[in-house]
Amino acid sequence: MAVAAELPYGGWIQIPLLSIIWWRLSLLKDCSTTQFFFSSLIFGIGYFIVGLWWLYISLHDIGGMNALLSCVAVFLLSAYVSLYFSIACLSIRIFKSSSISGLFLAASWAVGEYLRGEIFTGFPWMGFAEAQVNGPFATIAPYFGGLACTFLVVYASWQIFQLNKHPRYCISTLVLVCLITIGSSFWSFTKPIGEPLKIELVQGNFPQSMFTNPEGVLKQIHFYSNAMMQSRAELVISPETAFAWPTTNLPAGLIENLQSLSNNTQTNLLFGVIGRHTNPDNGREFSNRALGLSPAQGAYQYDKNHLVPFGEFIPPGFRWFVNAFSVPLSDFARGGDAQDNFIIRRQKEDPLYAAITICYEDVFGGELASRIRNNPQPTNLLINLTNLAWFGKSQAPTQQLRLSQLRSLETGLPALRATNTGISAVLGPDGKVLAELPEFTQVSLSTEVQAYEGKTPYVFWGNFPILSFSCLLLIWGLIRHRRF
C-alpha cells in the first residue's frame, strides 16, 4: 500500500489493494477481538514503516542517534499511528452482519484520520487522501477536503471486496460514487485574478551539516542573498532557514540592503530566518520565521505556528530523547493563529496576498482552511518554505509535494514551494505540478504563476460536514447493532 502510493497513479492502485486488506481481515471473523485488533495493527505498522523509514535518516545519519535507538523510534512512531488504523478496522468486526458495513468502515476511518491529525499536535502524514491528487476522488477535495477523499477510498475498496457477495448493490453504489465525482469536476470556485506573476524559486541544496557550521551558514547567506539581488522577478522565494541565524546576528546591513533592493527594483522577497523575540514567551527566545520584504512596505514576518515535536519543540518528559542527538535542536516559540498574509506589491496591478506555511504546516488542511476563512485579507496563492535536507535521498520530498498538491485542491489556489534540497515546484489550483526543479541541485526556477481569488466550499466549511456525517453514521450503526 505504502509503495503503491508513491507511484504516479497510486491513487487508483490503492483502491483494489485495500480491498485485498479487507478480504484478509474478513478471514479473521472467528478469532477474538484482541487477535483481530493486533492483526490490523500489524498491517498499519508495516504500512507506516515503509512510508516513514526516512525518519531513520534524520535520527541516525544526520542526528547521530544510536542505530538501534533510531530503529526503535521509527517503529514506535509507526506503531502509535497504526493504532488509529486498528481502531477503525474494528468496525469490520462490529458491523460485520450489516449490509452497509462499508459505510461504517469508511466513517470510522475518516474519524480516525481526523484524530490522528489532532491528538498530541497531530501527525496525519501518509494518509490515503494525498495519493488521490492523481486518483479518482481528487474532485471531491474542494468540497469536503482530504477526509472525504479518504472516506470514498475506503468505501469504494470495500464495495470491490464485496462484489462477489452483493454484485448488484456494489456495482450500483460504485457507479453512483463515480457519477458524483465526475459531476463535482464541473464546478470551479476560484478564478484567475490579474496578470501572471513573475516568480523565482531559489533552491540552494545545502547539506544539513552546514546549518550547524558558522562557515557553512555564512556560505548559505551569501548564496541566497546574491540570488535575490541578481533576480529581476516580481517575487523571489528562498527556503526555510535560508538565513540560518537569528535576525539580530545576521551580517550588518544585510536586511537593509535587501529592502533597498526591493524598493529600487520593485521585487518582493521572501526567505526563511531564525526570528528573535525581545520579550520571550515562556523562555523561548527564537522562532522559525519567514521574513518578507516588499517595495516601500518594510518587513513582513510569519512565525511558524504548528511546530514539529522534537525538531522545534520538546514535549514534556522527552528531554532525554533529544539529548540522544549529536546536533542542537531548537525549542522555538510558536507563532499566533491569526497572522496576516504576505502582501505582494506590483507596479501595474493590485497587490496579491499569499498565505505562508513553513515545513510540514501544509500537512494540516483544516488549519490552513481555517486561516484562509478567518483572515480578513483575501488569499490569492499559497507559499510553503521547507528544508528537507534532514531526510536525505528518500521519498519524503515526494510525499510532502503530494500534501501540498492536496492543499491546492482543497483551497482552489496555486501554490509555490521553495525548498533547500527539493522538490521546489509551482502547483496549479487543481493541484497539478506546473513546473519543478530536480532534487539535490543548486538551481533556481524562473517562471510565472497565475494568482486566483475566491473560496472553495472546503475553505468555508472545513472538516465539519464530513466529520458530522461520519459521526452520525457511526452513532446510527451502533444503535442498529445494539438492537440486533
The catalytic position among 113, 240, 312, 367 is 240
Alpha-carbon span 311 to 260, nearest angstrom: 34
Give per-residue burial for 339-368: e unless 16+ CB within 10 Å, then b.
bebbebbbeeeebbbbbbbbbbbbbbbbbb
Cell digits of residue 380: 490569492
Helix (H) or strand (E) holding 72: helix 67-94
The DSSP annotation for 190-232 comes to -EE-SSPEEEEEEE----GGGGG-HHHHHHHHHHHHHHHHH--
CA nearest 441: which of 199, 200, 203, 202? 203
Q: Is 432 a catalytic residue?
A: no
Q: Is 348 a catalytic residue?
A: no
Please report where in the chains the cell 526543479 appears, as a residue: 437
The catalytic position among 149, 234, 304, 312 is 304
Q: Is 367 a catalytic residue?
A: no
Helix (H) or strand (E) holding 320: helix 319-323
CB 212: neighbour CB atoms within 10 A?
A: 12
The catalytic position among 359, 367, 410, 455 is 359
Write out 269-292 in H/E/C secondary structure: EEEEEEEEEEEEECCEEEEEEEEE
Alpha-carbon span 200 to 174, nearest angstrom: 44
Residue 303, strand partner residues: 289
Alpha-carbon span 363 to 307, nearest angstrom: 12
Alpha-carbon span 248 to 258, nearest angstrom: 15
Tell me the catalytic residues. 240, 304, 359
